[in-house]
Amino acid sequence: MSEITKVDYIQHRSRRKFLKGLAAGVGLIALPSKDAAAAVWDEFFQRHFRELSRDELKGVIARLEKDYSKKFAKQVTVKTTPPIEGVLYGYGLDLSRCIGCRRCVYACVKENNQSRDPQIHWIRVLQLDKEKGVDLSHAEHYYNPDKVPEKGHFYMPVQCQQCEKPPCTKVCPVQATWKENDGIVVVDYNWCIGCRYCMAACPYGARHFNWGKPNLPAAEMNPVTHYLGNRPRPKGVVEKCTFCIQRTREQPGRYPACEEICPVGARKFGNLLDPNSEIRYLIENKRVFKLKDDLNTQPKFFYFYAT
Amino acid sequence: MKNIWNFFAGTLLLISKGSKAYYCWVLLLLVLMAIGASAFLRQFDQGLIVTNMQDQVSWGFYISNFTFMVGVAAAAVLLVIPAYVYEWGPIKEFAVLGELLAVSAIVMCMLFVTVDIGHPERFWHLIPKLGRLNFPQSLLAWDVVVLNTYLALNLTISIYILYNLYYKREPNHNFYTPLVLLSIPSAISIHTVTAFLYNGLGARPFWNSSILVPRFLASAFCSGPAFMLLIFLLVRKYTKFKIKDEAIQKVAEIMAYAMFINLLLLGAEIFKEYYTDSIHLNSFQYLFQGLHGHSALVPYIWTAMAFNVTAFFLFLVPSTRKNTITLVIGCVLVFVGVYIEKGMGLVIPGFIPDTLHEIYEYSPSNTELMLAMGIWATGLFVYTMLLRVAIPILNGDFHVADDGVSSYIGDDLFIVRQDDAEGETVVAEPVPARE
């Protein structure tokens, strides 16, 4: 252990002890129902996800699984699967195929346990004019015809672009959001203070705030969750697309829900580091663009025209 | 230690004394604070859904007020520089009143941020070592640091000076001068960092302009002093505390220059956006003309423009600057004008249109208005209390008694009356019969 990390480690330990002592002390004061109060204080004094030791993480996960299972009356699992080595996720979206049906929007809501009321959508589909091209200032957000696609229009779904240089993580005052090694930008909902600076910084409108208490019907709750992804969120924190971290990090993995549901195959997903992946083929052989390229956020979400 | 306790006990005794008007004023503030507190409890329980903010406009009235109050906190530095750097007597006599205003303004800033966040109980995540303050990456982390530094400096300086005057001691020059000098760059830093907070976001072209910092500084040197001049005029009128004409004139003159720079910089921004006529013009159009039929801010910003320009001329022309009535009018115009321009006028257009060019027109909800009113009342309450102690000390009406333990209180009456125009605090006390 080098000198610096040693100091860090010692500081960590003493802080951990201090917090634990504080938690125990305050827990004693709040006597009424001993277990419930203890859980509340455990949650209050829970440290940052990346600072938790193996044992502490176990405790946190056990607490969360117990809470969620009770609340939603089903066995809920909270995974903490780490990134897979040698994987950098990339997403492709074929603008020449997308028909604007919004199935991806609702598949995402279902998979990722978003609040139904107030409604939170991680994907926003824009209706654009073929004449004007990709010009956001003429985008229609709330198109609602009987049938899509409409003549003269094309459709552009926008979600988290999983930037290589995310402006949102940089501004967070408490490091509650960060980019993982597989390129996914995640949020620790137990650490976020809800200042919404990241929402001001995101150029894609990809971050969403739980303005009220999220309303997630127990029957519709997806019990397979990831700590950094689709586990139920409290009110007052920011959330966003994680490329379905609870699916894509598993081995064998599954495609993100939006990719899976797309009826026209407009959505592509894969490993940017694998030269034989479909996403690499598309980037190398199709007309590709990145949204707001000039901001140098370096999205790993690629729009392309296959035809 | 014992001295500190005696001083503290004395101030408690002092603030409990006052005229009927003083009691009424304090009671009014307490009622407004209670209303604000109840609004906060409701918001804490239900979440920020009780505001009119949404994902599209994710900061609103609270952060607008925060931004404006950071500017007001500048007031002190405009007194500190002539008082301590140039050792200019007329201002030095009351520079401490400016420092106390800075303290009150920063308290309001912190409250406005606290009520804006989703999990105020997680504030400890911001404490270095204990939590994970993202310093130096996040400008919000910088703001936490500089605001607290500025608050600590002003509190230390003003309490130290007042404490020593209370004990009839000459404050130790060598102790407070370095702190005062440090408070100057510190005042600049709170504005700079707060402007950078907006400035550094490539996602928001309305804020992503390199002259945002000078614009902030220029308008800050108008709004804070405007409030302070109003207070000084009243203090001068209703207490035996004398503030020289030349001091007030000097502050007003500096305000005229600051306002000129403010208007010039704003004009430069407007020219650049309109002449270039790129997509980035949208936010300015929303603010000044309305965009796609949405124009909630248009009447406000034009009011602000009219107020600021009028005030500039009132302060520029010596005859209107020297006339108390036009001076008061000018101060009120500046205060309101900058409140609009550097409050809602700065924050909201950053979000309209939003990053995907959707327009959600925001105006504060009742809860937001009530809560903000409660915080304003808290700020005024803090300032009233501080003045209640500071003015008698400066006047020599409140100091340690001859026994060295209890305190001598020379003025039991402390009149505070509400001004019709602005709801400003008017601090006054009767001139005693014997002089």
* Chain B 357-416, residues with CB within 8 Å of chain A CB atoms: 357-358
- Phi and psi angles of residue B429, each rounded to the nearest 5 degrees, phi first: -145, 150
Q: What CA–CA distance (Å, rounded) separates A47 from A53?
A: 10
Q: Which domains does chain B have, with CATH numbers?
A: 2-428 (1.20.1630.10)
CA pair distance A206, A233, nearest whole angstrom:
16
**pLDDT band (50, 70, 90) for residue A29:** low
CB A304 within 8 A of CB A282: yes
Q: How far apart are CA B85 and CA B91, in angstroms?
A: 11
CA angle A247, A249, A250 (to 5 degrees): 70
| Percentages (nearest 5) of helix, strand, coil residues in chain B | 70, 5, 25
**What does residue A133 show for φ and ψ, rounded to 5 degrees?**
70, -155
- The predicted model scores a pTM of 0.91
Name the 3-class secondary structure at B57: coil
Categorize the per-residue pLDDT at A3 as very low, low, confident or very high, splitting at 50, 70 and 90.
very low
pLDDT of residue B404: 81
Mean pLDDT in residue range B302-327: 95
Identify the residue with better confidence: B418 or B210: B210
Nearest to B203 among A138, A158, A167 (CB): A167
Tokens of A294: 């000039």
B134 touches chain A (CB under 8 A): yes
Mean pLDDT of chain A: 92
Q: How close A167 gets to chain B, by Cα (Å)?
A: 8
Q: How many CB atoms lie within 10 A of CB A78?
A: 24
Q: Report chain B residues whose CB lies below 8 A from the CB of A137.
A: 279, 282, 353, 357
Judging contacts by C-beta atoms under 8 Å, the chain B residues touching residue A125 are none
Closest CA to B117 of B73, B59, B68: B59
Quick: pLDDT tens for A162-183: 999 999 999 999 999 999 999 9
pLDDT band at B396 (very low <50, low <70, confident <90, very high): confident
- Short-list B82, B105, B71, CA closest to B259: B71
Look at strands A238-239 and A287-289 and give their pairing.
unpaired
Task: Inform me whether the C-beta atom of residue B282 falls under 8 Å from chain A C-beta atoms.
Answer: yes
Q: Which CATH class is domain A57-307?
A: alpha beta
Distance CA B239, CA A224 (A): 71
How many CA atoms lie less than 13 Å away from B330 in the CB half-sphere? 33
Tell me how far apart the alpha carbons of residues A185 and A164 are, in angstroms, rounded to a whole number: 9
Determine the residue type at B153: L
As a whole number of angstroms, the distance between CA B34 and CA A29 comes to: 27
Write down the pLDDT at residue B260.
95
User: CB–CB of B140/A173 below 8 Å?
Assistant: yes
Contact by Cβ (8 Å): B349, B283: yes
Contact between B99 and B80 (Cβ < 8 Å):
yes
Q: How far apart are CA B73 and CA B154, in angstroms?
A: 10
How many residue pairs from chains A and B have C-beta atoms closer than 8 A? 147
Supply the angle between the helices B212-238 and B173-199 in degrees, to the nearest 10: 130
Q: What is the pLDDT of residue B314?
A: 95
Task: Determine the Cα–Cα distance for residues B168 and B153; give it in Å rounded to an integer.
Answer: 22
Residue A283: half-sphere exposure toward Cβ, Cα within 13 Å = 21
Q: Tell me, what's the pLDDT at A15? A: 60
The domain locations on chain A are: 1-45, 57-307
- Provide the pLDDT confidence category of residue B422 given band limits of 50, 70 and 90: very low
* B130 touching chain A per CB within 8 A: yes
Contact between B55 and A199 using a beta-carbon 8 Å cutoff: yes
Give the pLDDT confidence of B140-149 residue by residue, as tens digits.
999 999 999 9
A205–B356 C-beta distance less than 8 A: yes
pLDDT category of residue A234 using cuts at 50, 70 and 90: very high
Query: In the prediction, which pLDDT does B416 show?
Result: 44
Q: How far is CA B429 from CA B383, B387, B401, B435, in A?
A: 16, 11, 21, 14
Exposure b/e, B38-57, CB count within 10 A at least 16 = b: ebbeebbeebbbbbbbbbbb
Q: Say whether pLDDT at B358 is over 50.
A: yes
Which amino acid is present at B265? L
- The values of phi and psi at residue B427, to 5°, are -100, 130
CB distance from A127 to chain B under 8 Å? no
Judge: B53–A211 Cβ closer than 8 Å, yes or no. Answer: yes
Q: Is A265 left (phi over 0), alpha (psi -120 to 50) or beta?
A: left
**What's the CA gap between A193 and B351, in Å, rounded?**
21
Return the residue in B49, B63, B127 with the most chain A beta carbons within 10 A, the one to mutate for interface testing: B49
A contacts of B58 (beta carbons < 8 Å):
196, 199-200, 209
Residues B400-404 have a mean pLDDT of: 86
* Average pLDDT of the residues in B267-284: 95
Which residue did the predictor score with more confidence, B199 or B240?
B199
pLDDT in tens, B95-137: 899 999 999 999 999 999 999 999 999 999 999 989 999 999 9
Would you call B356 and A158 a contact, using CB atoms and an 8 Å cutoff?
Answer: yes
CA distance A206 to B102: 38
Helix (H, G, I), strand (E, B) or coil at A253: coil
Neighbours of A8 (CB within 10 A): 12
Percent residues over pLDDT 70 in chain B? 94
| Alpha-carbon span A54 to A87, nearest angstrom | 24
The amino acid sitting at B200 is G
pLDDT value at B426 more than 60: no
Query: What are the tens digits of pLDDT across the range B48-98?
Result: 999 999 999 999 999 999 999 999 997 778 888 888 888 887 888 788 999
CB B190 within 8 A of CB B87: no
> pLDDT value at position B419?
39
**How far is the C-alpha of A63 from the C-alpha of A70, rounded, in Å?**
11
CA B320 – CA B328 distance, rounded (Å): 10
pLDDT at B420 > cutoff 70: no
Q: Residue A24 above 60 pLDDT?
A: no
Q: How many Å lie between the alpha carbon of B16 and the closest alpha carbon of chain A?
A: 34
Tokens of A156: 């552009």
User: Can you tell me the mean pLDDT for A284-298?
Assistant: 96
- In this predicted structure, the answer to whether residue A150 has a pLDDT above a threshold of 60 is yes
Q: B291 vs B1, B204, B286, B305, CA distance in Å?
A: 62, 17, 5, 19
Q: Which of A23-37, A155-169, B273-287, B365-379 has the lowest mean pLDDT?
A: A23-37
B251/B262 Cα distance (integer angstroms): 16
Q: Which pair of tokens denotes residue A133?
A: 């091209």
Residues 6+ apart with CB under 8 A from B162: B96, B389, B390, B393
Contacts of B368 (CB under 8 A, 6+ apart): B51, B52, B60, B61, B62
Residue B78: which of B63, B66, B95 has the closest Cα?
B95
Q: What share of chain A is helix, strand, coil (3-state, %, to 5)?
A: 35, 15, 50
**Per-residue tokens: B226:** 């405007």
Between the alpha carbon of residue B331 and those of residues A80, A158, B108, B408, the distances in Å are: 59, 48, 21, 36
Chain A contact set for B198 (CB, 8 A): 200
pLDDT, tens only, A44-96? 999 999 999 999 999 999 999 999 999 999 999 999 999 999 999 999 999 99
- Give the pair of three-digit tokens for residue B144: 């936490």
**pLDDT grade, residue A253 (50/70/90)?**
very high
pLDDT at A113: 98
Tokens 């009321």, residue located = A117
Chain B residue closest to A177 (CA)? B134
pLDDT, position B329: 96
Mean pLDDT value across residues B320-337: 95
Average pLDDT, chain B: 90
Phi, psi of A222, rounded to the nearest 5 degrees: -85, 115
| Average pLDDT over every residue of A246-253 | 95
pLDDT band of A34, cuts 50, 70, 90: low
